[in-house]
Structure 1
């Protein structure tokens, strides 16, 4: 099992203890802290002189703030699991996914992954000036499919997304799509490939119930094919229908990690929902 190079390039394998037992770990998050540096707007008065003075005196700008987004989070994900990540806004859910994907380096702690994690977010980049058809092709190639694999799976991706249910939208530029249509197409492209670790950020909140059901069924298939799925969502019903385990983050801290019903009941009691 390889370590995500962005996080701990000095290590190359999991600790031996992590590889014991019948369950196979795919992601190990070990006492991870993630800190953002936020640059605020300056006053604009004497800013160049003030900046030079801070440089000489080695002082930080008064408008720079450090945000401790994830605080000492530890958990292990195993092959074949679907794990929901819940919490209020700003709790660190999307941040921890980005760290697992290698997009954010931890301030401290380590993240080990088996294979290549793939992060699917509602804001995942597709090219607005290209047609849906071209984006399907380029998206498939970017995920490592061969041209032949993309050709074989193309029609299935279009049908899964439901883009053409109300017309020939797949031949139109992405900029003509609604946000829901674009999100459905992103999910359909990502779900066409088997992933070692697939992370989905709010994608199932888009589309009608029929699409959500197709998505939930596809996640179950990915699990059977020995993958691990993480799902971040504010829709507790999607979490219940899809995940067998839930990680609850609040203010960057891990509050609870356990069976889906048990954790969601505690979360709903906490939030009054």
Structure 2
């Protein structure tokens, strides 16, 4: 992956030439509580009693999804997050975005992180055109900026290549088309911290290449990008640093090739 230009590198440091941190994750633990069904007559009363007495329900199962994770991300970095299914990758992104509370530890961010995931909500009954406008407004873009970037967003997504889909309701889109449009909307804005969860796994190789190039541009604009992906080639093409999570633990944090080599050896080359 190419190094940043001199101008871009200057934007990632302060007046003393020090790198600027954008995200600090300090000994973070995240616990999910899965509530089971109540047991028989009087369960509502029993539940109220437990709340008053601050007792844990016997039907609540705790899942320790992230265990004591710590790292610092800096302006201008693109950081890949890898690990097997259920390792805590998406959970840590949701916590950084402020969508999940930490059971223990602290998360500090410079500005408001933006989380882009393939499961992010779209308005299925509205057209793609209306979703572009509403999505831009939701990210804080002004109407003039949205209209100025509208055509480039549509062109970037490639959803018009097989017909006039932008004027159709989102419910008529395939999951891949919806994910491509979602990424295109999010990528149209400059982000201080952009977190992408598996978005580059959608679409053909041409769209993946466009997406990877846009991530590089976001870095050049002095943003910080996190990319969760099972596609190691996408990680290699876009990230210079990788975090490897397994069962909620941070196993490695280092240069892309070094971490991926250890991960691929662990997984048998996958």
Same fold (TM over 0.5): yes
The corresponding residue for 1:252 is 248
1:54-77 Cα deviation digits (max 9, x unpaired): 457654222101111111111011
Structure 1's consecutive aligned runs of 4 or more residues displaced over 3 angstroms after TM superposition are: 18-21, 42-59
- The CA distance in 2 between the partners of 1:214 and 1:52, in whole Å, is 54
Q: Which residue of 2 aligns with 1:111?
A: 107
Q: Distance in 2 between matches of 1:48 and 1:260?
A: 52
Q: Is the CA contact (8 Å cut-off) linking 1:77 and 1:228 kept in structure 2?
A: yes
Tell me how far 1:51 sits from its aligned partner: 3.6
Given that 1:19 and 1:25 are in contact with CA atoms closer than 8 Å, whether structure 2 keeps it comes out as no
- Asked if 1:168 is matched to 2:161, the reply is no
Shifted more, 43-52 versus 128-137: the winner is 43-52
Q: Is 2:100 the counterpart of 1:89?
A: no
- TM-score, normalised via structure 2 length: 0.90
* TM-aligned CA distance change 1:106 to 1:218, over 3 Å: same
Gapped regions of structure 1 (runs ≥ 5): 1-17
Deviation string, structure 1 residues 123-178 (Cα, Å, up to 9, x no partner):
11110000000000000011111100000000000000001000000000000000
RMSD: 1.8
SS in 2 for 1:165: coil
TM-score by length of structure 1 reads 0.89
- 1:57 to 1:189, Cα distance in 2 relative to 1, 3 A: closer
> How far did residue 41 of structure 1 move?
2.7
* Uncovered stretches (5+) of structure 2, i.e. residues with no partner: 1-13
Partner of 2:177: 181
CA contact (8 A) 1:247 1:258 kept: yes
- 1:39 alignment counterpart: 35
Structure 2 equivalent of residue 129 of structure 1: 125
The question of 1:145 aligning with 2:133 is answered no
* Aligned residue pairs, count: 256
